[in-house]
Amino acid sequence: MSLEDQVWTADDAISFVKRQGIYAEAERLQAVEIGDGNLNYVFRIQSADRDKGVIVKKAVPFLRVVGETWPLTEERASIEAAALRFQNEVASGYVPEVYAYNPDDHAIAMEDLSDLEVMRSALIKGEHFPLFTKHAAEFLARTLFWSSDRSGKITEKKERAAAMVNPQLCEITERLILSEPFYDAPGNRIEGGLEEDVEKLWGDTEVIDTVFSLKDKFMSCGQALVHGDLHTGSIMVDQAQTRMIDPEFAFYGPIGFDPGLLFANLVLNMIHHEVLGHSPSYREYLLAAVEDIWTRFTDEFCELWRVTSYDGVFHNDRTEHSYILGVLQDTCGYAGCEMIRRTIGLASVADLADIQEEKARIAAKKASLVIGSDLIKLSSRAESIDEFVAVAKSLDISPVVTPSGTER
């Protein structure tokens, strides 16, 4: 049987939720495959008798977007279930509830969030979410603090870290975010018109050497249980709620990786609106969000650190400042890598790829490469989040189409 024959049908997903006791055998159910991600198959199960459905996420033994030429362990489902359960414990309300996980099926049944929108699509439409910064900051502070050594839960941390070793998914990140976009790798997708920009990036020794350090830290610094893929496609929102989904890349890594990916994707969305000549106030909204998330996240992290007081004399203004500064610098660096890989690497994002007008799309990608490299360089000297925002604002990204859609 080929690996692709192991993909579930809608009936398989229905039989799974019944076996897990979520629905009675006699209940009439419908299932549709709704997954649009790169890795897994996702089914929405609905019963004629209940309003709310159930989501079934099934890991297959290969990377969905590539096929069976890229085999991948199905154990990622156990990492995802464990990460969701931990995150729900310490940051309740910010992740979908897990109803069941079965290690033999490599499948999770979880809360249906179909009433919410994927944040990337909502931001492309120019929507505003007044509670998002508070929610994102609380999720970051609580999950990263309570999984870190700073919480004093040092035995639990080591046990969890051992259970959450995630070598294959980390390798995807090591390749796709922290290696291949920085040399002429076959998987890259470099659009015509970017050749000179890409050559310049690859020839920039400061960028290359800094990416080496960021990659080394990603591979060796188990500070906290990071979500590992916190881009805006991993966030569901509405005006009242924010949920972080899809933590199959979770592992013990550098804290700055999560805010780094999140901020990069907000800046990519900013570029999208800039090149299309949309209202400049949206740029201010997105950059204010970066600043607000950072401030709230670090304030709550430090408050939890003070109250928990595991570090005793070692927790003082000096150590607090240098710890948070290290996280800030990593945040800048990983944000830069994420922007670059979303521009020329294997997995793009709609904020760039779905810009229809070629000139505007190329202008957006050029801007992303410059801001991405500047953020990588900033990572060795950043002192405050204002510098991150200043780099994101530093380019004059002139609109390539007028708001009415006519090319200039």
- Rounded CA separation 278/127 (Å): 12
Identify any residues that bridge with 46 across adjacent strands, giving them in sequence order: 30
Residue 264, binding choice from Mg ion, ligand SR1, none, Cβ under 5 to 8 Å by partner class = none
Instruction: From 105-113, 137-145, 168-176, 348-356, give the range in contact with ligand SR1 by CB under 6 A.
Output: 168-176
Residues contacting residue 251 through CB under 8 Å, at least 6 positions apart: 79, 164, 165, 166, 169, 170, 222, 225, 226, 228
Question: Min. distance of Cβ 369 from ligand SR1 in angstroms?
Answer: 18
Contact 403, 277 (CB under 8 A): yes
Site string for ligand SR1, 178-217 (x = CB under 6 A): ----------------------------------------
Of 22, 63, 185, 353, the one binding ligand SR1 by CB under 6 A: 63
Residue 346, binding choice from Mg ion, ligand SR1, none, Cβ under 5 to 8 Å by partner class = ligand SR1
Of 3, 33, 35, 38, the one binding ligand SR1 by CB under 6 A: 38
Residues contacting residue 36 through CB under 8 Å, at least 6 positions apart: none
Question: Min. distance of Cβ 34 from ligand SR1 in angstroms?
Answer: 16
DSSP string, 300-368: HHHHHHHHH-TTGGG-SHHHHHHHHHHHHHHHHHHHHHHHHHHHHSSS--HHHHT--SHHHHHHHHHHH
Q: Find the residue with minimal CB distance to Mg ion.
A: 246
Instruction: From 100-108, 135-143, 172-180, 323-331, give the range in contact with ligand SR1 by CB under 6 A.
Output: 172-180
Question: Min. distance of Cβ 338 from ligand SR1 in angstroms?
Answer: 9
Of 172, 207, 376, 389, the one binding ligand SR1 by CB under 6 A: 172
Q: Is 118 in the site for ligand SR1 (CB under 6 A)?
A: no
DSSP string, 27-47: --EEEEE---SSS-EEEEEEE
Q: Which two tokens stand for residue 191?
A: 């659009």
Query: How many helices and strands in the chain, by DSSP H and E?
Result: 14, 12
- Rounded CA separation 323/221 (Å): 13
Q: Which two tokens stand for residue 225?
A: 């249980």
Of 75, 180, 229, 300, the one binding ligand SR1 by CB under 6 A: 229
Residue 163, binding choice from ligand SR1, Mg ion, none, Cβ under 5 to 8 Å by partner class = none
Site string for ligand SR1, 317-356 (x = CB under 6 A): -----------------------------xx---------
Contact 233, 262 (CB under 8 A): no
Residues at the contact surface with ligand SR1, assessed by CB under 6 A = 38, 63, 65, 172-173, 176, 229, 346-347
